[in-house]
Structure 1
Amino acid sequence: MEDRLQMDNGMVPHKIVSVHLQESTLKELGQVDPSEKEKSVSSAQMHDSADTSETAVKSELEIAANPGDPQSEEEKCKLEQASKHEEESSSLSDREIGPGEHHHLHLSSCHECLQLENSTIESVRFASAENIPELPDDCSSKPEDKNVEYIASKIKRVNLAGKPPNILIYVGSEGSKMQFEQVKSVLEECVDGDSYTIYHLREEQVLRDPWVDNAVLLVIATEETISEESHKQFIKFLSNGGKILGFSSLFTFDDIQIKRKDKLKTVRELVVSKPDNTEVKLDFLISGCIFEEAMKENISKVKPLSHLNNADRDLVIIHLPYGDNGGEAVLSQVHLELDINSMDIQTEEDFNLLKMSNTKRYEILKEILISLGLSCELREIPMLTPIHLLSSDEEIHVAFLKWLEQNVDAEGLIASSKVSLKFVSSDETKMEVTPSLMPVITQMGSFSSEHFSLKTYQQNLQTKKLGKILLFTEVTTTTMNLLDGLMFKLPEEMGLIAIAVRQTQGKGRGGNVWLSPVGCALSTLHITVPLYSNLGQRIPFVQHLVSLAVVEAVRSIPGYEGIELRVKWPNDIYYSDLMKLGGVLVNSTLMETTFHILIGFGFNVDNSNPTICINDLIRKYNKEEGTQLKPLTADCLIARTVTVLERLIDVFQEKGPNGVLHHYYKYWIHSGKRVRLRSEEGPVAWIVGIDDCGFLQVHEEGKGVESVHPDGNSFDMLRNLLVPKR
């Protein structure tokens, strides 16, 4: 029914709410003349409260809209339990609604409603990111009105401060849509997406529209001079208990002045005070300005949150309270809102410093938002999705389906202790997807995905058998579990791979959790290795070959050879020797004389935050070298990785370690590195290379060369430390 109704702004209702009608009203409705029902009555406009102490909001419900009229609308009205005298109809009721009370829906033709329309009716409005006036009417700005309920489809639950949970972003009169989207995207990664709606507060709306009472947070993200009129509105917002977060803006108050320290924006080291009274040092882009206090006696009101790590300890982030209603502001001359890809970074050193501080940037921003009363809890775990059976080769696909007929039970099930798979021809059955039972749709014709192109995968997969049969899903627990029930039964020539867009329980080495946002390449590949073979006698080399395959998948593309992607012993993919952007997990099972190996690998392709991704490195390379290399995609790189891996395995089986180690050393980050063994005070050693079994070789003074097993040790890159795994 919702899709047949349309609001006057062109939007359609998200949900129609059922209401209770008085019996007397129902009787009256039956007597209403049909022509009367079809009268279109418009809602009263929102009024500025400057002319009167109380705001009157009118709204009426059209009960029989003309289907051919695009302007037809449905509105609901909520009645307060108030006196029905006509003399009280000029003001809105401030009474709170109890949880068990029912408020009856009345109509524009109802005699009772006509008497009470001014005193009891609230508009149903659909919030629009493009139109701040479409925010819900706020009956009162009084802090005590905490339980007011807004009947709206896109506006979330009112927060404890009594304000609708809207976040407004002001980027000035010259601010572009792109600037707004940049700030919005950062906030969306920090706040609870189910609790807040983010809007663009445009210059013309600052003075005209009643946003002051309709937002829980105002973000000022412009370096323009704030006009006197706009400044007054922002102060009014604070006076009403509002919260302001300033990003490198000239907005300030209460004798706090902004002084330009540097002519240009620069990357500087900061000292940030944490809520637990600890301090952390990190590097951020600074606007070039600092905060100073004009009157030192007001220093008690200012809470310093961050200062430059210099002799003057210049303030760059401060907290300021305002008024008696809980208004407060956090003002920052640090560009916490900017992603590195939107900055004009001049040097490789600045790029590295900012990327290494990126995770802490999010932590600090979340702490600031929490201090301003916002919720930054983790979002809900996405729902699991069905699996699609795909193939890069039609002949192999048909052969696999024939194999399935002989190996599934009567219900189309292949059972497993981890995840049982139920094979169905299509998704019409709408079977529930659970962590222990997942449907697999076998018809390829119904497959489509925004994040994965089977055609791109097919074009880049050049293997004899690996990766030919795909189990693809948008969201799963972990791809490591999907192949468990198939790998011991499937014929060897049917190379099996599981690919996901997101994982809710991604696994890393040693029980670590691997975060799996959209933009990662996530897959688990099944391979078999004969026990009595070069690789079968050196299984630890498998993780080295996979790490190398990921790096070569990128750096073997013509033009991409200079992308600074490297391998770190024993199983990581790194940007230079600075930051991890991928990893490998290998589980092997020996069945008679054959190793069945599940290789899980994941690496960041297009997710810049919270750390770094391959496309970041490509953009960096383009800027430095003046090239125009295109960004890469997960489907392309997964296929290329599998292709390179099959070739590396073939070479290893033929020539042993010496066939691949020269490639591995070309890209690894450890040559000649000085480390300490076991602890920060442990003996000094130098990394020599990898021995014949794939273990790391180090040379300790006075003791010669010894091997370090990857399953028993971890390489701490930040401290150049080899320590036992716990």
Structure 2
Amino acid sequence: MESNGWEDPRSLGSTSTRGPGGAPGGGEPAVDGDRGAGSVEHCPLHLSSCHECLELENSTIESVRFASAENIPDLPYDYSGGLEGLDDDLRPERDERRVNVTGKAPNILLYVGSDSRDGLDRLQQVRSALADCVDTDCYTLYHLPPESALRDPWADNCLLLVIATAEPVPEDLCRRFTAYLSQGGKLLALAASFTLPGFRVTSKTPLRDTVQTLVFCKADGSPVRLSVLSSGCVYEEGPGEPLGPGKLRGHLDSEDGDRLLVQVPFGTHGGEAVLCQVHLELPPSSPAVQTQEDFNLLKSSNFKRYEVLMEILTTLGLSCDAKPAPALTPLYLLSATEEIRDPLMQWLGKHVDPEGVITSSKLSLKFISSYTSEIEITPSAIPVVTDMESFSSENFNFEIYQQNLQTRKLGKVILFAEVTPTTMSLLDGLMFEMPQEMGLIAIAVRQTQGKGRGKNAWLSPLGCALSTLLVCIPLRSPLGQRIPFVQHLMSLAVVEAVRTIPGYQDINLRVKWPNDIYYSDLMKLGGVLVNSTLMRETFYILIGCGFNVTNSNPTICINDLITEYNKEHGAELQPLRADYLIARTATVLEKLIDTFQDQGPNGILPLYYKYWVHSAQQVRLGSAEGPKVWIVGLDDSGFLLVHQENGDVVTVHPDGNSFDMLRNLIVPKQR
């Protein structure tokens, strides 16, 4: 076995490992005086040899892993073997989340055929799709090259084998895969030529790389209809008899009803396979997707694609439970300009209590010069580091933010967190006291308790631009008399922040009344939440905003739109960053507010209508049986105007109704 930079296993001291025949280390008998007492010699191991050697291999991996954990990459290994010789104080602790009822190591092995460029691309696509479905802290995904599939004893350390290649699988490999199933293994074939008795794969060239409608039947019998990318093959009856029909199945929604997905029980030890001839592993942005129409159809079904994939994985014995929330991190107090730093720290010194704490009704912020891991962080008590020199983040480039923030007030003082419950609460204790010219904004990479309108939750995956901005509006001003317009201005600012970048003006990003950011009129990729408080003559408004920048899931992101635009137009627009767009959005918002205060609604409505999705849209008011109306615009207060069949024009309030875009309804929002 190659050392790969591992430390000498003999560092385990008195631990010994017995090989075949009782000789230490599995080699020749030890000779007294050859080595120090208790030392062990580990001879080369042949992975395809006898059972005793395989046990020794597992034991050696466990021992070396414990001896030098920091230098050892993750390997497929068997938790059940090789620890008997260790003293209790040397026995490595097991990660209980990685142990499963089968007793096997939590390994998912990915076979993608030859190591060609296409094969490596498939490997990345399959790995990415599965990693979005299962907790990668509980399962490990490994590439299974053809030579390893033939040579190595992987079957005993494999919870799931995934075959994702249209290349013919060699007969000797087919026998190994079938033997794995007969021993109780689980297998998923994705657009693969591999099949089992009772079925054969038949080519239907007109279906190849086309978008089709799949009707998928879940284990409980409920159907799921979704758009999928077909491999160009279907399953037909073949030689041999399957053990029996499985509960999962899927067919084309067509006259032929071709079978595209079958579940096949195998053998007498619980073996099971799901064979699939649709590309569940490919994202809608894949080069295999040929047209904009196909991209739109697949993106609209992307959530269902994951629903189907997780149903399959769950049926095959894996857990697709939600991943645990990431640990909370401290806040950092940053200032976008040097001239504001000293006044900020002076103000802070006058307003914290003797313990350095500012307390509000929602949480307490404890301001500290530096952070150590001993300092506790809870949703209601968060430390704030004031030393800017110690700040660094892989996900937020502060220099990019500074360079692109071109405001007089907005966004000048930043509370930044890698992970926080919600940015909407972070400014609560500061917003009424801090001077308005300091322009507070809270920015996070992840939220664990993101908020939407009403009782809605807001998903906050990595890659989403998340912020809450404080805006102060005089009551006796054009915008102060029309506060509902604030959410429209923020939605418009996000769209303008992207579409005013040179070359990006045709990226199909739009606004949807009352508070959403959309791709065309098809999919939501962002939203706005506004909380306002009137104190004396000023509205203190917290504008929460989240929009997808780099995260393609669970719906779509801005960089997906850029990728599709480049593909369609042969362009080379670069992907965008969250820090860059948050700064640009604050800059655009300040300009829109200034325009509104100078010119009123008419100053911004032409731009708003340019980007909104509702022109001449027909909807029904209240329910599917409600009166038919046509959307005509916004009224003077920012509420939606609709034209009824009898000629009347009525106003619909944003906080009482919400669009169901799929059915063209206006339905009451739960409060």
TM-score by length of 2: 0.90
Q: For residue 26 of structure 2, what is the aligned residue in structure 1?
A: none
Q: For residue 24 of structure 2, what is the aligned residue in structure 1?
A: none
Amino acid at match of 2:109: L
Among 423, 435, 439, the residue aligned to 1:479 = 423
Residue 43 of structure 1 contacts residue 59 of structure 1 at CA under 8 Å; is this kept in 2? no
Residue 472 of structure 1 contacts residue 498 of structure 1 at CA under 8 Å; is this kept in 2? yes
Q: Helix, strand or coil for the counterpart of 2:56?
A: coil
Amino acid at match of 1:8: S
Worse-superposed segment, 192-201 or 649-658? 192-201
Q: Helix, strand or coil for the counterpart of 1:445?
A: helix
Matches within 5 A, 1:512-551: 512-551=456-495
Alpha-carbon deviations, 1:482-527, whole Å to 9, x = none? 0000000000110000000000000001120010010000000001
- Residue 135, structure 1, aligned to residue 130, structure 2: no
Q: Name the CA distance, whole Å, in 2 between partners of 1:352 and 1:613.
A: 13
- Residue 227, structure 1, aligned to residue 225, structure 2: no
- Residue 265, structure 1, aligned to residue 209, structure 2: yes
Offset of residue 136 of structure 1:
3.5
Residue 419 of structure 2 contacts residue 446 of structure 2 at CA under 8 Å; is this kept in 1? yes
Among 173, 196, 202, the residue aligned to 2:114 = 173
CA 1:137–1:570 in structure 2 vs 1: closer, same or farther (change >3 Å)? Answer: closer
Unaligned runs of 5+ in 2: 17-31, 83-90
Offset of residue 198 of structure 1:
1.0
Among 341, 344, 368, the residue aligned to 2:312 = 368
CA 1:20–1:231 in structure 2 vs 1: closer, same or farther (change >3 Å)? Answer: closer
Offset of residue 342 of structure 1:
2.7
Matches within 5 A, 1:249-648: 249-263=192-206, 264-294=208-238, 300-301=244-245, 303=247, 305-428=249-372, 430-648=374-592
Among 190, 195, 202, the residue aligned to 2:145 = 202
Among 125, 130, 133, the residue aligned to 1:182 = 125
Residue 45 of structure 1 contacts residue 57 of structure 1 at CA under 8 Å; is this kept in 2? no
- Residue 160, structure 1, aligned to residue 160, structure 2: no
TM-score by length of 1: 0.83
Q: Name the CA distance, whole Å, in 2 between partners of 1:256 and 1:679.
A: 47
Q: Name the CA distance, whole Å, in 1 between partners of 2:360 and 2:33.
A: 66
Among 693, 701, 712, the residue aligned to 2:656 = 712
Rg: which structure is higher? 1
Q: Percent identity?
A: 57
Q: Name the CA distance, whole Å, in 2 between partners of 1:59 and 1:714.
A: 61
Q: For residue 57 of structure 1, what is the aligned residue in structure 2?
A: 55
CA RMSD of aligned residues (A): 2.9
CA 1:361–1:76 in structure 2 vs 1: closer, same or farther (change >3 Å)? Answer: closer
Q: For residue 108 of structure 1, what is the aligned residue in structure 2?
A: none
Residue 306 of structure 1 contacts residue 315 of structure 1 at CA under 8 Å; is this kept in 2? yes
Alpha-carbon deviations, 1:51-100, whole Å to 9, x = none? x57666337999xxxxxxxx9x85779xxxxxxxxxxxxxxxxxxxxxxx
Residue 124 of structure 1 contacts residue 136 of structure 1 at CA under 8 Å; is this kept in 2? no
Q: Name the CA distance, whole Å, in 2 between partners of 1:38 and 1:663.
A: 80
CA 1:60–1:178 in structure 2 vs 1: closer, same or farther (change >3 Å)? Answer: closer
Offset of residue 159 of structure 1:
2.0
CA 1:60–1:336 in structure 2 vs 1: closer, same or farther (change >3 Å)? Answer: closer
Alpha-carbon deviations, 1:9-42, whole Å to 9, x = none? 32579xx999999xxxxxxxxxx98951485511
Q: Helix, strand or coil for the counterpart of 1:645?
A: helix
Q: For residue 631 of structure 2, what is the aligned residue in structure 1?
A: 687
Offset of residue 135 of structure 1:
3.1
Q: Helix, strand or coil for the counterpart of 1:509?
A: coil
Q: Helix, strand or coil for the counterpart of 2:262?
A: strand
Q: Helix, strand or coil for the counterpart of 1:511?
A: coil
Residue 619 of structure 2 contacts residue 630 of structure 2 at CA under 8 Å; is this kept in 1? yes
Residue 435 of structure 1 contacts residue 477 of structure 1 at CA under 8 Å; is this kept in 2? yes
Q: Name the CA distance, whole Å, in 1 between partners of 2:66 and 2:604.
A: 71
Offset of residue 280 of structure 1:
2.1
- Residue 236, structure 1, aligned to residue 179, structure 2: yes
Q: Helix, strand or coil for the counterpart of 2:205?
A: coil
Q: Helix, strand or coil for the counterpart of 1:715?
A: strand
Q: Name the CA distance, whole Å, in 1 between partners of 2:143 and 2:438.
A: 52
Q: Name the CA distance, whole Å, in 2 between partners of 1:504 and 1:550.
A: 23
Q: Name the CA distance, whole Å, in 1 between partners of 2:527 and 2:14.
A: 54
Q: Helix, strand or coil for the counterpart of 1:276?
A: coil
CA 1:596–1:582 in structure 2 vs 1: closer, same or farther (change >3 Å)? Answer: same
CA 1:272–1:19 in structure 2 vs 1: closer, same or farther (change >3 Å)? Answer: farther
Amino acid at match of 2:5: G
Offset of residue 161 of structure 1:
2.0
Q: Helix, strand or coil for the counterpart of 1:236?
A: helix
Among 603, 616, 619, the residue aligned to 1:675 = 619
Q: For residue 651 of structure 1, what is the aligned residue in structure 2?
A: 595
Residue 524 of structure 1 contacts residue 600 of structure 1 at CA under 8 Å; is this kept in 2? yes
Residue 242 of structure 2 contacts residue 265 of structure 2 at CA under 8 Å; is this kept in 1? no
- Residue 10, structure 1, aligned to residue 8, structure 2: no
Offset of residue 679 of structure 1:
1.1
CA 1:193–1:635 in structure 2 vs 1: closer, same or farther (change >3 Å)? Answer: same
Q: Helix, strand or coil for the counterpart of 2:438?
A: coil
Q: Name the CA distance, whole Å, in 2 between partners of 1:557 and 1:691.
A: 30
Amino acid at match of 1:348: Q
Residue 41 of structure 1 contacts residue 60 of structure 1 at CA under 8 Å; is this kept in 2? no
Q: Name the CA distance, whole Å, in 2 between partners of 1:501 and 1:692.
A: 36
Offset of residue 197 of structure 1:
1.1
Q: For residue 41 of structure 1, what is the aligned residue in structure 2?
A: 41
Q: Name the CA distance, whole Å, in 1 between partners of 2:66 and 2:472.
A: 65
Q: Name the CA distance, whole Å, in 1 between partners of 2:506 and 2:40.
A: 67
Offset of residue 693 of structure 1:
0.3
Q: Name the CA distance, whole Å, in 2 between partners of 1:60 and 1:563.
A: 54
CA 1:531–1:258 in structure 2 vs 1: closer, same or farther (change >3 Å)? Answer: same
Q: Helix, strand or coil for the counterpart of 1:623?
A: helix
Residue 126 of structure 1 contacts residue 152 of structure 1 at CA under 8 Å; is this kept in 2? no
Amino acid at match of 1:556: T
Residue 127 of structure 1 contacts residue 136 of structure 1 at CA under 8 Å; is this kept in 2? no
Q: Helix, strand or coil for the counterpart of 1:493?
A: helix
Offset of residue 392 of structure 1:
1.1
Offset of residue 672 of structure 1:
0.4
Residue 415 of structure 1 contacts residue 485 of structure 1 at CA under 8 Å; is this kept in 2? yes
Q: Name the CA distance, whole Å, in 2 between partners of 1:249 and 1:590.
A: 62
Q: Helix, strand or coil for the counterpart of 1:651?
A: helix
Alpha-carbon deviations, 1:91-133, whole Å to 9, x = none? xxxxxxxxxxxxxxxxxxxxxxxxxxxxxxxx9999856xx7x
Alpha-carbon deviations, 1:631-669, whole Å to 9, x = none? 000000000000000000001011110010001000000
Unaligned runs of 5+ in 1: 1-5, 22-31, 63-70, 78-122, 141-149
